[in-house]
Amino acid sequence: MEKINLSIIIPVYNEEENIPILYGEIKDSIESIEPNYEIIFINDGSSDNSLKELKALREKDKRVKIIDFRKNFGQTAALAAGFDYAEGEIMITMDGDLQNNPKDIPLLIKKMKNEDLDLVNGWRYKRKDPFISRKLPSMMANKLISWITGVKLHDYGCTLKVYRKDIAKDLKLYGEQHRFIPALAHIEGAKVGELKVDHRERKFGKSKYGISRTIRVILDLITVKFLSSYSTKPLQIFGLLGFITGGIGVLIGLYLAYIRLILKQGIAGRPLLFLSMLLIFMGVQFFSLGIIGEMLSRTYHESSKKKVYRVKRAEGFDSKKK
């Protein structure tokens, strides 16, 4: 069997009209540059004729592969399944609704190769979606995510991306965290870039998201930030907090002891006494949390065989050892 060089991963949820057109566009765009590709469609519990359309394509072209979910698990799960099954050295994700343009695929790959990047993120610089419900929240989300994660991109929400295989395979996706992929890849040590891409209006079918997504994005952001900054050193963050709160508590306590023992004044009615006790308690709590965190982080890394490092290339070793 010939080696597959390119895997295109496409989540599909009720996109029956779009599927045949998308297939044609992908073929036109990449056949000439790379014939050894596979197109993996993940049918995410569609209730229309999407699966039938996909099967019809597979009849004609065995490079089309189908992962059929038992029910709707969401776009993040669909992408994760695609990464698990894909074999290509280079992986591409895109939407199944024709809003991304397959013409951009060769350009994204070229950029990744020329600049030796591990992930190139599409930037829908002329996004064709409603302003208030989609573009405005997304603009704010992009600013916030860039600022908090330190990976500065204009368009986290763009599904059109190219990845090197090992980065894509290393991604651990949970909940609805596909929009944080560049930040998660950055945690894995990936070099991330971006490229302006085309964006088209949705012609068939409906968008599956609305404004309600905003709050969930913020909660996911907290998780990602924690994972990126503290997951291997929880005691350092919680211990520091414990030191600060506990330390202030002890200082206040000493001051009160001075008043009581040296100046011989009563302290029973002083609010400061309660503050001191509260702060010392908090300090102990933070410390314990940090230590539990350290233990959890060990279980986490060992049970999932997750390394605390990522190797780009190791030379001179037996290839079986990995």
CB of residue 125 to ligand UDP, shortest distance in Å: 16
Size of the site for Mg ion (CB under 5 A): 3
DSSP letter assigned to residue 31? T
Give the interface segment with ligand UDP, choosing from 11-19, 168-176, 251-259, 306-314 (CB under 6 A): 11-19
Which residues, at least 6 apart from 37, have a Cβ–Cβ distance to it below 8 Å? 4, 5, 6, 7, 8, 30, 63, 88
Q: Applying CB under 6 A, does 11 fall inside the site for ligand UDP?
A: yes
Under rule CB under 5 A, which residues in 57-96 are in contact with Mg ion? 95
Q: Which residues pair with 196 in a beta bridge?
A: 123
Any idea which residue has 């829908």 for tokens?
Answer: 124
Nearer to ligand UDP, 45 or 290 (CB): 45
Q: Which partner from the list ligand UDP, Mg ion, none does 96 bind, CB cut-off 5 to 8 Å by kind?
A: ligand UDP
What is the rounded distance in angstroms from the CA atom of residue 320 to the CA atom of residue 99?
42
DSSP letter assigned to residue 100? B
Q: Tell which one of 18, 43, 50, 99 touches Mg ion (CB under 5 A).
A: 99
- Could you tell me if 194 and 123 are in contact, meaning their C-beta atoms sit under 8 angstroms apart? yes
Q: Applying CB under 5 A, does 97 fall inside the site for Mg ion?
A: yes
In b/e form, how buried is each residue of 269-289, taking b as 16+ CB within 10 angstroms? Answer: eeeeeeebeebbebbeebbeb
Q: Tell which one of 7, 99, 245, 297 touches ligand UDP (CB under 6 A).
A: 99
Q: Applying CB under 5 A, does 159 fall inside the site for Mg ion?
A: no
Give the interface segment with ligand UDP, choosing from 10-18, 241-249, 257-265, 272-280 (CB under 6 A): 10-18
| Amino acid symbol at 165 | K
- Could you tell me if 197 and 106 are in contact, meaning their C-beta atoms sit under 8 angstroms apart? no
Query: Pairing between strand 37-43 and 64-68?
Result: parallel
Q: Tell which one of 38, 41, 67, 97 touches ligand UDP (CB under 6 A).
A: 97
- Extract the runs of DSSP E, i.e. beta strands, from the chain: 6-12, 37-43, 64-68, 90-93, 119-124, 161-164, 192-197
String of contacts with ligand UDP for each residue 31-70, x by CB under 6 A? -------------x--------------------------
What three-state secondary structure class fits 42?
strand
Nearer to ligand UDP, 131 or 274 (CB): 131
Query: Pairing between strand 37-43 and 6-12?
Result: parallel
Q: Which partner from the list ligand UDP, Mg ion, none does 12 bind, CB cut-off 5 to 8 Å by kind?
A: ligand UDP
Q: Applying CB under 5 A, does 44 fall inside the site for Mg ion?
A: no
Nearer to Mg ion, 128 or 310 (CB): 128
What is the rounded distance in angstroms from the CA atom of residue 57 to the CA atom of residue 20?
7
Q: Applying CB under 6 A, does 75 fall inside the site for ligand UDP?
A: yes
Q: Tell which one of 96, 182, 242, 293 touches ligand UDP (CB under 6 A).
A: 96
CB of residue 95 to Mg ion, shortest distance in Å: 5
CB atoms within 10 A of CB 48: 14
User: Tokens standing for 129?
Assistant: 């979606």
Nearer to ligand UDP, 78 or 252 (CB): 78
Size of the site for ligand UDP (CB under 6 A): 16
String of contacts with ligand UDP for each residue 180-219, x by CB under 6 A? ---------------------------xxx----------
Nearer to ligand UDP, 129 or 166 (CB): 129
* Sites of contact with Mg ion (CB under 5 A): 95, 97, 99
